[in-house]
Structure 1
C-alpha cells in the first residue's frame, strides 16, 4: 500500500505543477502592441506600425492621431501608456499601470480607462478615479502631437 500512496502523491503533485504552469501561461500577456476601444465598441488593433518587440524611444512615433478614437483611447502595453482623445483634437496620455495594485489597465470604454483586475475606472480627460478601489489618479505622461503624429516626449 505504501507504493500506491506514493504513486497517488506523485500524480497529484504533477497535476498541481501542470495546472500552475497553465495558469501562468494564461496570465502572460499577448503580443499585441495596443488595444483600442471607444465608448460604443470594444476592439483590438495595433496602433503603431512598429513591431511589438520594439518600443518607441522618447521622441519616436507612437501613433497617428487617427488611431486614437474621439471619446476613447488606445493602450500601448509595451510602453505602459494610454493615450486618450476626450474631445476631437485634444490628446492626453497617462500611465497604463493602475494605481490600486499595479495591474495593467485593459480597456477604454464609456469615457473611462478601465482596470480589469478590480474594476477601477479613471477619467479619460484627467486620469482621476471615477470608480474604486483605486484612490489615486493615473499619472499623466508627456506626449507631443505634431501634425497627425503622436510621439513620446
Structure 2
C-alpha cells in the first residue's frame, strides 16, 4: 500500500464513529506507522549498490592526496600539530618518521587539542595517547586513536 493511501485510510478511520471500533490509541499508532512508511520510502534509493556517493571522488589536487597539511619542518621531533579543520593530528615520534591519527578522542569524541610531552592530549576528560602509535597513555579512553595515512614528498605532509 502506498504511504499516501495509508494516510488517507488513517484520516478516514480517525473521523469514523467510535462504534466503528477505532480507538484514539489505534489511530495514533496507525499515524506513526504511516509516517515510518513514508520515511522508509523517502530513504530508499533507486539503486541498491550501497554507494553513499563518495566513492571515486578525487581530492582537489587529483591523484589521491589532498592539499598539504604542513611542511615537514613544522612538525617537531617528539611532538606534533593538530589540524582542527581536517580532524587529524600529525606527529613526528622520531626524526623523519611522520604519523597521523584522528583528532577525535575515542572516549567521548571530543577533539584533541595539543601534542605535548610525547602524548596527544584531550582537554575534555584528560585522555592521553602515545605519539608513537596512538595507543592510550592515560585517562578514561580505552581505545587508541584511529591511524590515518600520510605521505611526505618534497617536504610537504599530505593525507594519503
TM-score tier (shorter):
0.5 to 0.7
- SS of equivalent residue, structure 1 residue 66: helix
Normalised by the length of structure 2, the TM-score is 0.59
Kindly report which structure 2 residues correspond to 1:41-80, keeping only aligned pairs within 5 A, or say none.
59=65, 60-80=67-87
User: Which gives a bigger RCO, structure 1 or 2 (Cα 8 Å, sep 6+)?
Assistant: 1
Larger Cα-atom Rg: 2
Query: What is the CA RMSD across the aligned residues, in angstroms?
Result: 1.6
Q: Which runs of 4+ in 1 moved over 6 A?
A: none
Give yes or no for the alignment of 1:143 onto 2:150: yes
CA distances 1:123-152 after superposition (whole Å, capped 9, x unpaired): 001000000200000000011011311111
Higher helix content, 1 or 2: 2
Per-residue CA deviation, residues 94-146 of structure 1 (Å, 9 max, x unaligned), is: 00000000000011000000000000000001000000200000000011011
Q: Which structure 2 segments of 5+ residues have no match?
A: 1-59
Q: Which runs of 5+ in 1 are unaligned?
A: 1-55
TM-score by length of 1: 0.62
Asked if 1:133 corresponds to 2:140, the answer is yes
